[in-house]
Each structure stands twice: as C-alpha cells, then as structure tokens.
Chain A
C-alpha cells in the first residue's frame, strides 16, 4: 500500500520537477535548435515510458499484494505479447534514433561559407588564431612552441606570418557560420560554450573541429569540458558575438603572428606547404 503510493508520488514528483522547476537549458545562441528539438522528443518518449512502467508497477503492487488465501496466476510466457512489446519498443527507439542521425549528419557537414577559427588550448587557458589576409592558417607544431611563439606556429610557413593571434576574448561575427579548429599541445581539453550546445574534445597530436552559426549577439562563457588537471574548472574564457563593424574594429587591434613574434620570417627560408592536411 505504502509502496504503491510512493511509486505514484515518484512519477508525479518527477514530472512536476521537470515541468515546473526553473532548471532548464540556457537560451540557445547558435543554430543548433535541431539538437534541442531532438532532445525534447527524447524527453517526451522516455518520460511517457517511465511514467507508464512505474504506474503499472504501482497498480500491480496495490492490486496483487499478498492477502490471506491469494494465489498467483501460473503464466510462463506469452509469445504474442512479448513480440508486440518488442516491436512497439523498436518503433519508439527508431523515433528517437532517426531524427538524431539526420541532425548528426548536419552537425558533421560543415557549410562551404564557414570561416575557420583556430581554438588553441593548453593547461589552463585559451588562445585563438584567425587566418590573416591570405585566408589560410599557417601550419603549426609543438616543436615550434617557445616564449615568443606560444601557439607553435610554423615560422617557415609563409601562410602563417599574417595569422592573427588572439589572447583574451574571441569575437565572432553574427550570423557567420564558423568552423572551429580545435588544437591542444598538452592534454585533452574541450571547447564548450553552453549557449552554442556543441562541444568536441581537443586532442594533442591532431586537429578536431565542429561548426555552428551564432544567431544572437552577446557575451558567452567558454568552459573546458574535458578533465585537464587540477585547474580544469578554472579554465574559462569568453566569446563575444558582435555585429560586423564591431568585429572589424576588434580585428584591427589584434596582432599578426609576424608582429607578435617580433620578427618578420626570412622569405628565403619560407617554404610553401603544398598539401595541407585537411583536419
């Protein structure tokens, strides 16, 4: 009796908490509302199943609880019922999986007009690099990292000289799709902005990526979402989504790699990197 009541209360309390409590996702600032929609579909389907199973249990516990003289029904199996339930479950699962896979396809297909921005992580702070006027990022390697080249940009690569080095907040252009190229030189990190919904690990030795389109202006906090050592929770930063003119003004103020390193690379030593690895 008590157990049946508690089971009902658990369902009621869970649903009420979900609907009424103020803890819900932070308002979205990217075009990944597809992800939010898939998540909401999943909430509905799983919520219904949870309520149905637990309420059914509550009914059984109440209705078939032991009383003097009660005898259970002998019923080893029921093929038809079991197959019917399996098929219904399969349909429910497909209703979540299929939209999920479609959105995943979108998530990993970067549009042609996306601009590239490199996000650079090390214990325990963020830096960024933008392609300069040539529109190409120079190559990089941990072996080039030094005090005046903290990002390890290849000084011999002529594409690298005009790259813009950003220390501090990253500015992004409103409604301009961005492909973030994620690079780390020490441990795993993860570039995560809750309002953008997307995240991806940064793995030393390789360049990972994701893309999104900022759809509203504002200041959004960057968090590291992959454990990276004792100061993991303090590895924060900000991304500012701004209008075009504000973006241009900001960009003017950022140093190029050549300026940053304090030396123009010797053109005689510059090598053209013909086949640049596609991340």
Chain B
C-alpha cells in the first residue's frame, strides 16, 4: 500500500481522499474467488443474478404453459403454479434486477466512471457478494424443502402466507423465503454503503457531482433509496417470521381456519402491506433509476450527441427518487385502508408522471438532429423507450385511484408492471451489456446473433404484454390457476392466452442465443481495441483494456469537463474525453451551460 505521488495541477481541485492503491491479491483464490476488486465482484454478482434469473425464466415458461394450455400439463398442479409465480416474481425483482443493476453495473461502473481505483471498502464489498450468494442459495434450497417453496405470491401477504391453505405456508417454504430476504438485505446494505461513499468521497480531481455521467447518478440515487427502503421490508420479514414461529400476532387478527379458531389475535394484515409497499414502491425505482441513467448514456454515445437537458435529467432522477417514498399506498387502493388515503396517493402518484415524462422527452429530444448509429446498444435503448412509455402510461390508469378499482388485481396490472419494470429495464440491461462487454472482455459481441436477439426480444416481448392488458380489461383476475368457464367474458380469451404463451416461449428461447453469444465472444469475438464506441466517459479512458486492478496505472485521471462533449463545434473529433484538457473554441459553443 503506497501513496502515489502526482504533480499538482492548478486548475483542478485536490482529491478528497488520498490516492491509495488498494492491496493487490497475491493468491489465485484471492484474485478470482474471494476477490476484493469491484470489477470481479461485479462479474460474480452478475453471473449469479443471471444464473438464478434463468430459473425465473423457466418458471415463467411453466406458468405460461398452464395459462395458455390449461389442463394439458398434469404436473402443473395449483400448488406448483402458485409456487412458480411466487418464485418467478421474487427472483426477477430482487435477486436478478436489483442485484444486477446495483451489485453488477454499480460495482463495475461506479469506480471507473468517477475515476476511483476501487470501491472505498473493498473487503466489505466482497462480503456483500458472499452474503448475496448465501441468500440465493437459501432461496434455491426452498425448492428442495418438504412442501416446496412458498406459493404466497411475491407480495407474501399475510395471513395466507403463513397459513396452511397456501403452498409452503405451514412448512419450511415461507421461512426460507423470509430468511433469504433478510440475508439479501444484509448483503445489499454492505454493498450499498460502499457505492454511496465511493460516489461522494472517491471522485477524482475535477469530477464534480454535476459532471458525473447519468449512469452514476441513477445508480447512486437508487442506492440511497434502497438503503432507506429495504429496512421496511427487513422488519416486515422479521415480524412475519415471529408470527409464524413464535406465535406473535403482528399481522394476524383473530382467525378461523377451516372451522377452527387459531391462536392469533389483535394484529392487522394491512400493516404488513404498508411496510411491504413502503419498500416495494421505491423498489420499482431502485430498478428503474439505474436503467434511466444507463439508457441516457447509451443514447448520448450512440447518437453522438450530448444528453439533452442534463441538469433537468439529474434533478428529475432526484425528484423521482424523493417522490417515490410518498406514493406507496397506490398499490393498496382496494386493500381496505381508509378511503381518504386515495385522494392523497392518487395525487402524489400522478405528480410523479411529470418528472418521468421530462426524462422521456429528453431522451427523444437527444435523438433530434443527432447522428444516430443504430448499433445494438442503441437499438435496445430505443426498445426501452417504447416499452417504458407504454408501461409508464398504463401506470396513469392504475395510479388514478378510481380507474384502478376495476383494473386492480387483474391481468392489466400484470401487463403494466411487466412492461414498465420487467421488459423496459431488461432492455437496458441488454443494451448495457452490448455496450460495455468490449470494456469488460476486450472483445465485441457477435453482431448477427445480437441482431436476432434484439428483434425477437423486442417484438416478442411487446407481443406478450401488449395484448395482456386487454385480458385484464375484460376482467380476468391475476393469480388465477384456471379461469375455466367465465360468464362475464363476451369474447373468450383462450386464443389470446395461447398466443401470449407461444410468444413467451420464443422470447425465452432467444435469451439462450444471447447467453451463447456471451460465452462465444469471449474468445472469438472481434477485437474491440481501445474505446470502440468513441465515448467520452472515464471508464473508456483506462490505460489497459480490460482495466486492471487499481484501474488507472500510476496516476488518477484529472477531469476537465462533463461526460457529454459529443459533436462539439470546433473540436477535431466528434467527442472529447472527460480527461482531455483540450479546450474547443469557446465562441463556437452556444451557451455557457456546459458544466
């Protein structure tokens, strides 16, 4: 561990923390397994998240087979069906999306983008991954427990979650689920504190907050939110565990189960819902904000244009993050809570549409008069905008309390949240992987496979979820193992359901192509060289590709400008890297708003 000397530069502020090279690992185990390098931890996080995500993908196939072709598959019993939907939802929201955006992209990109050598607490960062892995293993173990995993729905609403009418409710399933969530939150907290402190304290000289790429702003804000929101889920899990194991009644009123009085009394199930959604709604934005940030950067790089309205974009992220803490009960309009809450929560929810709309406008205005390269990252970014706008707009139905009444608990809700926090963020994950894979491996992903992957995924996912809204609009409730004869249907939905299932099978299969591409291109991909996208942000300016431990060789990069100097008039190239001191002709720059 040694201080690295560097000459003072008059026009740059000094470092907030001294430039210290983190200790290099000496053993194979220390480098590859118990790694403290954020880049390796990022890959461990992402690999684990994708692996468990594949389980969720298979589960979604199985549940779609039941919905599309009910009665055809004997092994899909009601118990199994509810276990499939529960585990699919939980894995996707927590163990895949949250983990990959924060643990994966956060770890890889934050130190590189802010110009740091690593996260500020590398050991805690390593611990974060291993606790996350333990959480995933506990989750997986519930598949093999007697009675199988919990089938309580991913929202785990008591009383049913811990009663015998629900799969895993009276057995180990629900306990393993709660334990796994508790572990996940512990692991995340260790990582999350790291990301926040690194962004606040370890930025290189000249990297002011208002020069950060929006990717960092998105991940940073999401992490702060997660640190505030996850504790609500943590206590809810602990209390429900006590209700189940110790006979407390936090969420359990006096109950009768199949004619017999149970030993509970005095609790209220709605309290759990408030705790769950106080976490659960910010969670939507914990997934969405990193996606917002990353997609902003993808669009700017591949349209060769600065992101339009950078300052507004930053403030929109922060405002959305703040507002998302006072909208949670819009998930509970028909929960039986006091009806006057509806006025307040409908108003706050619809207000959040304004900063969100601003972000959408600024993305499409960035395309305006750009130089749009339709690369794979750009295609996925465009796919994100379409699906996000679609899913965001249906949120205006569900957020507007009285419109929610007929739609709540129907397939419309399922379609809405899959479009807005399933398909849209996953589009960004794919775009981001196509964008940064050359940095991580030094090679490009195969273009042909990528094109097939994009078109099948984008059109296929839209074909799954767009018609699903109408299944809900006609009145089909969600979490129905079998609709059967339904007298309220004016037109049967069987054909539509079968169509959706076929689309889901095809889209799922296309992901195998993507996984193959990831493996194949590591050795056989085209050599990426240095900065293949000609991007300005710091992660592409490392002395080595892929960046080595410590990221920056013997000298941290000084930063002279924001991350969006694309196509600056008077500059020789169509981009100027953040650490490039060259000043373009100031007369040629329209106004002095560039941070």
Is A54 positioned at the interface, with any CB of B under 8 Å from its CB? yes
Is A258 positioned at the interface, with any CB of B under 8 Å from its CB? no
Whether A204 pairs with B353 at a CB distance below 8 angstroms is no
- Number of B residues near A (Cβ < 8 Å) is 118
Is A216 positioned at the interface, with any CB of B under 8 Å from its CB? no
Is B167 positioned at the interface, with any CB of A under 8 Å from its CB? yes
Interface residues of A in 174-220 (CB under 8 A from B): 182, 185-188, 190, 192-195, 197-206, 208, 219-220
A104's closest neighbor in chain B, by CB? B402
Question: How many angstroms from the CA of A71 to the CA of B573 in the assembled complex?
Answer: 10
Given A25-B475, A61-B374, A100-B401, are A227 and B160 also a contact pair (CB < 8 Å)? yes
Question: How many angstroms from the CA of A208 to the CA of B545 in the assembled complex?
Answer: 62
The interface bits of chain B over 48-62 (1 if a CB of A lies within 8 angstroms of the residue's CB, else 0) are: 000000000000000
Whether A22 pairs with B256 at a CB distance below 8 angstroms is no
Of B309, B372, B406, the contact of A82 (CB 8 Å cutoff): B309
The interface bits of chain B over 339-359 (1 if a CB of A lies within 8 angstroms of the residue's CB, else 0) are: 110110011001101100110
Whether B336 pairs with A208 at a CB distance below 8 angstroms is yes
Whether B367 pairs with A27 at a CB distance below 8 angstroms is no
Question: How many angstroms from the CA of A207 to the CA of B14 in the assembled complex?
Answer: 64
Whether B312 pairs with A3 at a CB distance below 8 angstroms is no
By a CB distance below 8 angstroms, the chain A residues around B152 are 227
Whether A72 pairs with B255 at a CB distance below 8 angstroms is no
Question: How many angstroms from the CA of A220 to the CA of B484 in the assembled complex?
Answer: 15
Given A60-B372, A123-B165, A190-B334, are A97 and B347 also a contact pair (CB < 8 Å)? yes
Whether A42 pairs with B397 at a CB distance below 8 angstroms is yes
B567 to chain A, nearest CB (A): 4
Given A50-B390, A76-B590, A228-B160, are A35 and B406 also a contact pair (CB < 8 Å)? yes
**How many A-B pairs with Cβ below 8 Å?**
342
By a CB distance below 8 angstroms, the chain A residues around B339 are 104, 107-108
Is A5 positioned at the interface, with any CB of B under 8 Å from its CB? no
Of B306, B334, B397, B470, the contact of A199 (CB 8 Å cutoff): B334
Interface residues of A in 199-251 (CB under 8 A from B): 199-206, 208, 219-221, 223-234
Question: How many angstroms from the CA of A63 to the CA of B256 in the assembled complex?
Answer: 66
Whether B259 pairs with A194 at a CB distance below 8 angstroms is no
Is B33 positioned at the interface, with any CB of A under 8 Å from its CB? no
Whether B261 pairs with A225 at a CB distance below 8 angstroms is no
Of B309, B354, B405, B474, the contact of A35 (CB 8 Å cutoff): B405
Is A122 positioned at the interface, with any CB of B under 8 Å from its CB? yes
Is B310 positioned at the interface, with any CB of A under 8 Å from its CB? yes
Question: How many angstroms from the CA of A119 to the CA of B569 in the assembled complex?
Answer: 71
Is B555 positioned at the interface, with any CB of A under 8 Å from its CB? no
Whether A61 pairs with B367 at a CB distance below 8 angstroms is yes
Whether B481 pairs with A232 at a CB distance below 8 angstroms is yes
By a CB distance below 8 angstroms, the chain A residues around B169 are 229
- Number of A residues near B (Cβ < 8 Å) is 104
Whether B393 pairs with A46 at a CB distance below 8 angstroms is yes
A78 to chain B, nearest CB (A): 7
Is B284 positioned at the interface, with any CB of A under 8 Å from its CB? no
Whether A74 pairs with B306 at a CB distance below 8 angstroms is yes
Question: How many angstroms from the CA of A188 to the CA of B374 in the assembled complex?
Answer: 50
Question: How many angstroms from the CA of A226 to the CA of B166 in the assembled complex?
Answer: 13
Given A185-B256, A200-B334, are A76 and B306 also a contact pair (CB < 8 Å)? yes
Given A104-B401, A192-B409, are A60 and B370 also a contact pair (CB < 8 Å)? yes
Whether A221 pairs with B487 at a CB distance below 8 angstroms is yes
Given A93-B350, A152-B256, are A226 and B367 also a contact pair (CB < 8 Å)? no
Given A206-B268, A230-B165, are A26 and B343 also a contact pair (CB < 8 Å)? no
Residues of B within 8 A of A (CB): 78-79, 82, 151-153, 157, 159-160, 163, 165-167, 169, 253-259, 261, 267-270, 303-306, 308-312, 334-336, 339-340, 342-343, 346-347, 350-351, 353-354, 357-358, 360-362, 364-365, 367-374, 379, 382, 385-386, 389-390, 393-394, 396-397, 400-403, 405-410, 459, 462, 466-467, 470-471, 473-475, 477, 479-484, 486-491, 493, 496, 564, 566-569, 574, 589-591, 593-594
Contacts A/B (CB < 8 Å), 11 sampled:
A26-B490, A57-B367, A73-B305, A74-B305, A76-B308, A89-B354, A89-B358, A101-B343, A188-B159, A201-B335, A227-B157
